Amino acid sequence: MAQKTMIRDLTTGNLAQKLIVFSLPIMLANFLQTLYNIVDMIFIGRFAGTDALTGVSIGSDVVQFPFFINIGLSLACQTIVAQYVGKKQTETLNKAIGTMFTLCILVGLILTVVGICFVNPLLHMLNVQPATYPHAKAYLIINFIGLFAMFGYNVASAILRGMGDSKHPLLFIAIACITNIVLDFVFVVLLHMEAAGSAYATIIGQIVAFVFAMRFLYKRREAFHFDFKPSSFKPDPACVRMQLKLGIPTAIQYATIAISLIFISSYINSFGIIVTAVTGIGNKLNSVINVITASLCAAGAATIGQNLGAGKPERCKRAMGIILAINLAVAIILCIIIILIPVTIFGIFDQNPEVLALAPRFVPMAVITFIGFAVRSPLLALVSGIGFPKLGMSIAITECIFSRGILAILLGITFGMGYYGFWISCSVGGYTTVFFVVPYLISGKWRTRKLITG
DSSP string, 125-152: HTT--TTTHHHHHHHHHHHHHTHHHHHH
Cβ atoms of residues 301 and 75 within 8 Å: yes
Amino acid identity at 12: T
CA 213 to chain centre: 19
- What integer pLDDT is reported at residue 295 of this predicted model? 83
- What integer pLDDT is reported at residue 339 of this predicted model? 93
Q: In angstroms, rounded to a whole number, what is the distance separating the alpha carbons of residues 386 and 443?
A: 15
- What integer pLDDT is reported at residue 270 of this predicted model? 82
User: What's the pLDDT band for 90 if we cut at 50, 70, 90?
Assistant: low
pLDDT beyond 50 at 1 = no
- What integer pLDDT is reported at residue 109 of this predicted model? 92
Amino acid identity at 267: Y
- What integer pLDDT is reported at residue 138 of this predicted model? 92
Nearest Cα to Cα of residue 224 among 98, 356, 36: 98
Question: Residue 12 gets which letter from DSSP?
Answer: S
Q: In angstroms, rounded to a whole number, what is the distance separating the alpha carbons of residues 225 and 249?
A: 27
288-to-217, 390, 417 alpha-carbon distances in Å: 30, 28, 27
pLDDT digit string, tens, across residues 300-315: 887 888 788 778 888 8
Burial class (CB in 10 A: 0-12, 13-18, 19+), 403: buried
Non-local CB neighbours of 170 within 8 Å, separated by 6+ positions: 25, 26, 28, 29, 32
- What integer pLDDT is reported at residue 385 of this predicted model? 82
Nearest Cα to Cα of residue 265 among 144, 432, 136, 397: 136
pLDDT digit string, tens, across residues 216-245: 888 888 777 788 888 888 888 888 888 787
Considering only residues 181 and 6, tell me which one the structure prediction assigns the higher pLDDT.
Answer: 181
pLDDT digit string, tens, across residues 346-403: 888 778 889 899 999 999 999 999 999 999 999 988 988 887 878 878 888 888 888 7
342-to-53, 285, 336, 349, 363 alpha-carbon distances in Å: 19, 11, 10, 12, 7
Percent of the chain predicted with pLDDT > 90: 20
Cβ atoms of residues 19 and 27 within 8 Å: no
Mean pLDDT of the chain: 84
* Region 59-67 average pLDDT: 82
- What integer pLDDT is reported at residue 7 of this predicted model? 61
Nearest Cα to Cα of residue 116 among 199, 211, 33: 199
Q: In angstroms, rounded to a whole number, what is the distance separating the alpha carbons of residues 365 and 370?
A: 9
pLDDT beyond 90 at 329 = yes
Question: Residue 418 gets which letter from DSSP?
Answer: T
- What integer pLDDT is reported at residue 340 of this predicted model? 93
pLDDT digit string, tens, across residues 25-44: 878 877 777 777 777 777 88
**DSSP notation for 365-409:** HHHHHHHHHHHHHHHHHHHHHHT-HHHHHHHHHHIIIIIIIIHHH
Burial class (CB in 10 A: 0-12, 13-18, 19+), 13: exposed
Q: Max Cα separation, the chain?
A: 70
Q: In angstroms, rounded to a whole number, what is the distance separating the alpha carbons of residues 63 and 289?
A: 20
pLDDT beyond 50 at 8 = yes
pLDDT digit string, tens, across residues 91-134: 677 788 888 889 888 989 999 999 999 999 988 887 788 888 89
- What integer pLDDT is reported at residue 454 of this predicted model? 56
